[in-house]
Structure 1
Amino acid sequence: MASRSGKMVDGTDGTDYQHRERVAAQYQVSAKNKSRLKLFVFIHWLMGGIHILRLLPSDILPLPPFPAPTEIDYAWLISLPFTLVAVSACRKSKPGGLNVFQFAILGVGICPLLITLFFCSPDVLQVIVSGSTKGLFMWNGYPFGLMWSMFCVFCVLVHIAEIAVARTLMAAWAPRHGKKA
C-alpha cells in the first residue's frame, strides 16, 4: 500500500476511492438498530425492577407502603421474558422472533399500561384540575396515582420505541427482491 508521500499505484492519482466497496445500507441500519434495541431492552428490565418493587409486599421493603396492586399490574410482568426472545432474534438476525416480540409488547406491555392509566386517571385529573390531594393515596408526600401514571407513560414510550426499532430491523433483514445479479 502506498502512503501519502510514497509511490502511488500506476494509473491512479488516489482520488478514485468512490469505486471501493462499502457496507450495504441495510447492514448499517441493522448494526445501529441492534444496539438501540439492546438499550431499550435494558431500560425495559430496569422498569421491570421498579415494577417488581411496587408489587412486593410492603413488609419486605424499608419503603413506605404502596397501594394494593391489581391483576393488571401483574400482567405487565409477562412482557419481560419476551425481551429475551428479542435479544435472541437480534443476535441471529431472525425477523420471526422480533415479530413475536412486537405483538407481545403490544398485548402484554402496552395494553396493561393503558388500562392502568385509565384506572389512575381520576386521581390524575383531580390533582391537575383542582390541585387537591384530598382522599388520594399519598406515597412519600406525593399522590401515588400521578407518580405511577408518569411511570406508565414512560413505559409506554419505551415500548413504542422498542416496536419501532424492531420493525426497522425486520425491514432491514427482509429479503431483497429484484436485485440485479
Structure 2
Amino acid sequence: MSLPGSQRIAGTDGSDFQHRERIAPHYRISTETKSRLRILIYLHLLLACLVFFQILTYHLPFITTLNIPRPHFWQYVWLITVLPSICGLLSMNRNDSFLMKTFFRGTVIFGLGTILTTIILNLSELFTFKKLKTNHQLEEVEPQTFLGFPLLVLWYIFLIITVQIHAFSLYMANILLHSWHQYKPTKQN
C-alpha cells in the first residue's frame, strides 16, 4: 500500500501486480483440503454417535419403549475409528504428518476394512431379501424391521454412506500428506 500523497513509481501504471502477492499452490491446496476433510470427519463422528446411541440404548435396561435392534460385532470394531478421526482433526492444526498417517491407517483398517468385510459377508442376506420381496414371500419370513423399514436395507444404506465418507476422507488425507511433504525443508548438518 502506498501512503497518502506518495508518488507512483515512474514507468508503471500500477497493473504490474500480477507477479506479486501470490499464495503458493501447496498452501492453497492444503487450506482447501483441510476444510473439506474436517467436514468429512465431522460427518463420520456424527455417524459414530448414531451407532454409539444404538449400542447404548440397546444395553440400557430401562429403555424398553424403543425396539432397538441388537448391535452387531462390526459396530463395536467400527467405533474404534473415532480415535483415528480425532488424530486426523489434531493433525490439521500443525500439519502433523504422523497424526495424519495414523488417521489414514486407522481409517483403512478399522473403517473401510470393517465396513467392506461386513458388506461382503452379508451380501447373501441382501440377495435373499430381494428374492423374497420380488416373489412376494416376504410376509412369510417376517424380516426384522425398525420403524417399519427393513433393518437389512437400512444397514446397507448406512454402510454405503460410510464407505463414501471413508473413501473421500482417505483421498483428502492423501492430498494433504503429499502437499505437506512436497515442500518439506531437508535438514542440513
- TM-score w.r.t. the length of structure 2 is 0.82
What's the offset of the Cα at 1:84?
1.1
Mapping for residues 94-133 of structure 1, pairs under 5 Å: 94-131=96-133, 133=138
Question: In the alignment, is the contact (CA less than 8 A) between 1:34 and 1:169 conserved in 2?
Answer: yes
What's the offset of the Cα at 1:50?
1.1
- TM-score w.r.t. the length of structure 1 is 0.85
- Distance change in 2, residues 1:54/1:80 (3 Å): same
What is the CA–CA distance in structure 2 between the aligned matches of 1:78 and 1:61, rounded to whole Å? 27
What's the offset of the Cα at 1:140?
1.5
The one-character-per-residue Cα deviations of 1:68-87 (angstroms, maximum 9, x if unpaired) are 22322200010001111111
Partner of 1:56: 56
RMSD over equivalenced CA pairs, Å: 2.4
- Distance change in 2, residues 1:32/1:61 (3 Å): farther
Partner of 2:146: 139
Partner of 1:150: 157
Q: How many residues align?
A: 175
What is the CA–CA distance in structure 2 between the aligned matches of 1:162 and 1:56, rounded to whole Å? 27
Q: Equivalent residue of 2:9, what SS?
A: coil
What is the CA–CA distance in structure 1 between the aligned matches of 2:64 and 2:112, rounded to whole Å? 27
What is the CA–CA distance in structure 1 between the aligned matches of 2:128 and 2:17, rounded to whole Å? 65
Partner of 1:77: 79
Q: Equivalent residue of 1:96, what SS?
A: helix
Unaligned runs of 5+ in 2: 185-189
What is the CA–CA distance in structure 2 between the aligned matches of 1:62 and 1:46, rounded to whole Å? 24
Partner of 2:187: none
What is the CA–CA distance in structure 1 between the aligned matches of 2:54 and 2:158, rounded to whole Å? 11
What is the CA–CA distance in structure 2 between the aligned matches of 1:40 and 1:61, rounded to whole Å? 34
What is the CA–CA distance in structure 2 between the aligned matches of 1:62 and 1:92, rounded to whole Å? 47
| Aligned residue identity for 1:156 | V
What is the CA–CA distance in structure 2 between the aligned matches of 1:128 and 1:35, rounded to whole Å? 40
Unaligned runs of 5+ in 1: none
| Aligned residue identity for 1:165 | M
| Aligned residue identity for 2:27 | Y
- Distance change in 2, residues 1:102/1:96 (3 Å): same
What is the CA–CA distance in structure 1 between the aligned matches of 2:10 and 2:64, rounded to whole Å? 75
The one-character-per-residue Cα deviations of 1:25-64 (angstroms, maximum 9, x if unpaired) are 0000011111111111100110001111222343437432
Partner of 1:27: 27
Partner of 1:172: 179
What's the offset of the Cα at 1:137?
1.1
Is 2:37 the partner of 1:41?
A: no
